A = this chain, B = another copy of it.
Amino acid sequence: MKQDKLVTGQKKSFVSAQQVAARAGVSRSAVSRTFTNGASVSPGTRQRVLQAAEELGYTVNHLARGLIQDRSNIVSLVVADLNTPYQAKMIEVLTRRLQAANKVAMVINSAGENADVETALRQTLHYRADATIVLSGQPNASLIETCLANGQHVILVNRDDPVPGPETIVVTNRTAASQAFDMLHRAGCKKLVVIGSAVGSASLNAREQAFVAAAEDAGVAVSVTRLGPTAYASGVEAARLVLSHAEQPDGVFCLTDLLACGFLDAARNEFGLSVPDELCVVGFDDIEQAGWSSYELTTFRQPIEQIADHVVTLIDHHHPTDSVQEPKRFQVQPVWRKSVRPR
């Protein structure tokens, strides 16, 4: 039995349904139907086909299947900063959920030159992906429009492009940001600072603006520092800049936990500040490190599981439209830890 695979040729090539059919003594259609859900095959032939398939090591060729059906079962995830804790977690959950739905994730790294991003993003069209999930602010709106023009199903996460077509998922950035202000305000902070990054994205801008607006409404001084990429090192640098200034802030809202970790470390280890006594810090995302005992960061939790679930739902029930879609909005939950004085 087992030798057949070798005897048929040293080619070690993949087995086709034709070969299985020959071995089982049935037509190729029977093989196809055996592996097609809800097709009509008698238990007898099904059994023989399955056995022959097992013996030969047959696997349905999804390239051919995708060619004839209009679904490839491939979903492409477009992501930059893949080694960021937040994005990594998102990919982790998404791949798991997609697999549970019998789909498979194709990951497209959208970091780097714009031209490279375009060729990379074109892969989603090459492979006729069922949907494209854009998780980063990196690809231009114009590149996304290219995908849309080719009939791609595009789902944007945490973006804010006023483009007709794609479905959009966002979180309650503004609500949370003004809640962040309340936290710091009630803790008695008088001089506030917002730490952002130089690149900026829709979510980050929304958080920044809402926080500043809330502070100004309450008549509290606030300034904004944008520096480098959204990374730990940027938080460190921002702290050096801000804390060496004449009048130190006593309340900080970092638009990202990663920034917050950097800021906290620099504030404590380089400026000897005690948190939350002399300085209160609020982050955003609730990455794993925010819960580590060196940080104990008060922050806002992104509902990653809910977002992933909704993404999978959207993929299955797609109603293409040419109008701008109302974004689906998920709530972020405040997570109280120890980087802000209790009221």
Closest Cβ of chain B to A282, distance in Å, is 18
Bound Cα distance A245, B118 (Å): 58
For A62, the chain B residues whose CB sits under 8 A away are 123, 126-128
Contact partner of A104 among B59, B66, B72, B127, CB < 8 A?
A: B127
Across the interface, name the chain B residue whose C-beta is closest to A258: B288
Q: Which of A33-47 contact B (CB under 8 A)?
A: none
Given A57-B149, A151-B12: A104 in contact with B106 (beta carbons within 8 A)? yes
Q: Mark A245-268, 1 if CB is under 8 A from B, else 0.
A: 000000000000000011001101
**Contacts of A55-101 to chain B: CB distance below 8 A:** 57, 59-64, 66-67, 70, 72, 74, 82-85, 88-89, 91-92, 95-96, 99-100
Apart from A82-B92, A83-B88, A84-B88, 10 more pairs, CB < 8 Å: A15-B150, A57-B150, A62-B123, A62-B127, A63-B67, A83-B89, A104-B123, A106-B107, A232-B288, A270-B293
Query: Can you report 17 A-B residue pairs in the complex whose CB atoms are below 8 A from each other?
Result: A14-B151, A57-B149, A59-B150, A63-B64, A74-B127, A82-B95, A83-B88, A83-B89, A85-B88, A95-B108, A96-B111, A99-B116, A99-B119, A100-B116, A265-B292, A265-B294, A269-B293
Q: Would you list the 6 A-B pairs with minimal beta carbon distance, nearest first?
A: A88-B88, A12-B151, A62-B126, A82-B92, A294-B294, A95-B109
Q: Which residues of A contact B (CB under 8 A)?
A: 5, 12-15, 57, 59-64, 66-67, 70, 72, 74, 82-85, 88-89, 91-92, 95-96, 99-100, 104-109, 111-112, 116, 119-120, 122-123, 125-128, 146, 149-151, 232, 236, 261-262, 265-266, 268-270, 288-289, 292-295, 320
